[in-house]
Amino acid sequence: MTRLRLALHLVILWLLVVPGGCAEWAYRQMNDPSRDVWQQPKTVIQALSIAPGSRVADLGAGGGYFTWRLAEAVGPEGKVYAVDVDETALRLIEQERAQRGVAHVELVRATPTDARLPVAGVDLIFTCNTYHHLPDRTAYFQSLARALRPGGRIAVIEYKDSGWLAGHSTPKETVLREMEAAGYRLIREFDFLPKQHFLVFGPIRS
């Protein structure tokens, strides 16, 4: 086992043994600027062509890595719903929201089966590295259709390969099949991310 793998295994063991503060540490690591090299957040946001004043849900917001970039894209007249099931993640976003003085980010404590978004309330549902965590994804995304405004979209960024951490990826073919079964069609695909699929869907019937 290489030193890097050993270190990563020790970190995971630490997170399992001491979940409280370690969860916060993990979310802060998600926001490490070194992630920008492969995640290319500026290019991701540009690719989505988000209009000022839009309402966007950051589904699985984590430590807020994309939340603030989405908030900048929609502008003060828009709104970003930072959605997560984890209280620690939302608390970190809440702290940063206060520091930034950003009023148009709203925290949403979701459940594993309900994103708790307003009916016909969002133009875009954005989710990054969260798809593999969702149970019964077909039913989950079927339920999300009610949150989309006319012309609304769902953007899914998901790992191509989980590598050393098994179960943290989903093949593109699986995403396409499940999203079609949930009532969506692929409307755009981007291939500039080295580690992830980047797929944008719209309802089959809109």
Q: What are the C-alpha distances in Å from 172 to residues 81, 87, 164?
A: 26, 30, 19
**Does residue 20 have a pLDDT over 90?**
no
User: Which CATH fold topology does 34-203 show?
Assistant: Rossmann fold (3.40.50)
Distance CA 10, CA 70 (A): 33
The answer to whether 168 and 157 are in contact (CB under 8 A) is: no
Structural contact between residues 58 and 82, judged by C-beta atoms closer than 8 angstroms: yes
Are 82 and 75 in contact by the 8 Å Cβ rule? The answer is no
Tokens read off for 104: 């148009």
The boundaries of every CATH 3.40.50.150 domain in the chain are 34-203
**How do residues 47-57 score in pLDDT, each as one tens digit?**
999 999 999 99
* pLDDT level of residue 23 (50, 70, 90 thresholds): low
Q: Give the pair of three-digit tokens for residue 198.
A: 């980047």
pLDDT digits (tens, 9 = 90+) for 65-91: 999 999 999 999 999 999 999 999 999
Q: Is 99 helix (H, G, I), strand (E, B) or coil?
A: helix
Between residues 104 and 1, which one has the greater pLDDT? Answer: 104
Task: Answer yes or no: is pLDDT of 110 > 60.
Answer: yes
Task: Report the alpha-carbon angle 44-50-56, nearest 5.
Answer: 95
pLDDT at 32: 77
